[in-house]
Amino acid sequence: VQMEQSGAELKKPGASVRVSCKASGYSLSAYGFSWVRQAPGQGLEWVGQITVYNGETKIAQKFQGRVTMTVDSSMGTANLNLGRLKSDDSAVYYCARLHDADGMDVWGQGTTVIVSS
Amino acid sequence: QSVLTQAPSLSGTPGQRVTISCSGSNSNIGSTSVNWFQQLPGTAPKLLISTSNHRPSGVPDRFSGSKSGTSASLAISGLRTDDEADYYCAAWDVSLDAWVFGGGTKVTVL
């Protein structure tokens, strides 16, 4: 099982960023994707999650209105879009496989997003 | 300010048993199960204890999780130098309809 994430991004304030996560080695329909971020020197912060079989999303309140999540089952890829970027959105963004019983059990390597003018 | 509360740091000597605590409320730990993660410096978090209270394949049985009421604990027995890492608890919060994390505990092996 692997979760391979897209490369680092440098964005200006007010722009949008897309982070991708390609899953392999398992049947996607039995799992979801969770997105978690970590600002420099800080702890883990949940952004949201998406269920593959029905596309249902749950988003942390502080990101509602700025985050969209999608899954392309045919490509085995999940995408996180974060809009209206601010400097404090600079962080490493992780995707994790989400299992009903086990939680966030396999993580990607992380994608660094830097927001700077 | 994290929803789940963890001590920022703790230390131990090789071979010692240490316990990391995670305090929550009735809407998270009191209602659901806890994930524990280990994050080595510069790497992605790794699941140590699943919400079904199992250790994924490859996680040594030196790591064990427990829960009582609105608190959970991760015990590390036979502490090793390569256990130096940040440890995070997480749980689903039924009121927030969201995953919540502890602030993390940095374990130092003296």
Mean pLDDT of chain A: 96
| pLDDT value, residue A58 | 97
Of A45, A60, A104, the CB nearest to B47: A104
| pLDDT value, residue A100 | 85
B80 is written with which tokens? 């090793």
Per residue in A14-66, pLDDT (tens digit) is 999 999 999 999 999 899 999 999 999 999 999 999 999 889 999 999 999 99
| pLDDT value, residue A102 | 86
Quick check: A46 and B101 CB within 8 A?
yes
Stretch A75-85: mean pLDDT, rounded?
A: 97
Residues 40-69 of B with CB under 8 A from A: 44-47, 50-52, 54, 56
- Chain A residue closest in CA terms to B100: A46
Percent of the residues in chain A that have a pLDDT greater than 90, as a whole number: 92
Quick check: B50 and A58 CB within 8 A?
no
Phi, psi of B36 (to 5 degrees): -120, 135
| pLDDT value, residue B52 | 72
Q: Which residues, in sequence order, are CB contacts of B58 under 8 Å at separation 6+?
A: none
Q: How far apart are CA A94 and CA A79, in angstroms?
A: 11
Set of chain A residues whose Cβ sits within 8 Å of the Cβ of B96: 61
**Which residues in chain B land under pLDDT 50?**
none
| pLDDT value, residue A35 | 98
Stretch A91-95: mean pLDDT, rounded?
A: 98
| pLDDT value, residue B106 | 98
Handedness of CA A60, A18, A105, A55 (dihedral sign): positive
SS3 of chain A: helix, strand, coil, percent, to 5? 10, 55, 40
Phi, psi of B54 (to 5 degrees): -105, 155
| pLDDT value, residue B51 | 78
Helix (H, G, I), strand (E, B) or coil at A16: coil
pLDDT band at A68; cut points 50, 70, 90? very high
